[in-house]
Amino acid sequence: MSLFISQAHAAAAPAPAGGGMEMIIMLAVFGLVFYFMIYRPQAKRVKDHKGLMSSLAKGDEVLTQGGIVGKIVKVSDEKDFVVVSISENTEVTVQKGAINAVLPKGTMKSL
């Protein structure tokens, strides 16, 4: 059989390289990408929304997550709810967290 098939001799494999430092650098780069692309923008949005909720006052015109535009009639700090007047005789109680934005004065009249 050895007439047609040459015998393969295994070469001695080189010793594996360290690789520990490269792995640490790669994990650090992934950590930085995660921080700057995901965590930091989300934390900024949460901080801005908390500031918005704490600055709500009577008479502000707001937009809720459901798309309702109204004027704040009553703010309850203890229960985290606000009463929003949609029209002259219609009032809705909304949780503060459901308010998306404070609109400029006069927005309701222009709609």
Give the model's pLDDT for residue 79: 85
In a domain, 32, yes or no: no
Please determine, for residue 1, whether its predicted confidence score (pLDDT) is greater than 60. Answer: no
Give the model's pLDDT for residue 106: 87
In degrees, to the nearest 5, what angle opens at C-alpha 95 toward C-alphas 91 and 101? Answer: 85
Task: Give the residue numbers spanning the domain of 106.
Answer: 56-110
Please determine, for residue 14, whether its predicted confidence score (pLDDT) is greater than 70. Answer: no
What's the structural domain count of the chain?
1
Give the model's pLDDT for residue 74: 94
CATH of the domain at 62: 2.30.30.140
Yes or no: say if 51 and 70 are a contact pair by the CB < 8 Å rule. Answer: no
What digits encode the pLDDT tens for the residues 76-88?
878 889 999 999 8
What digits encode the pLDDT tens for the residues 54-66?
899 999 999 999 9
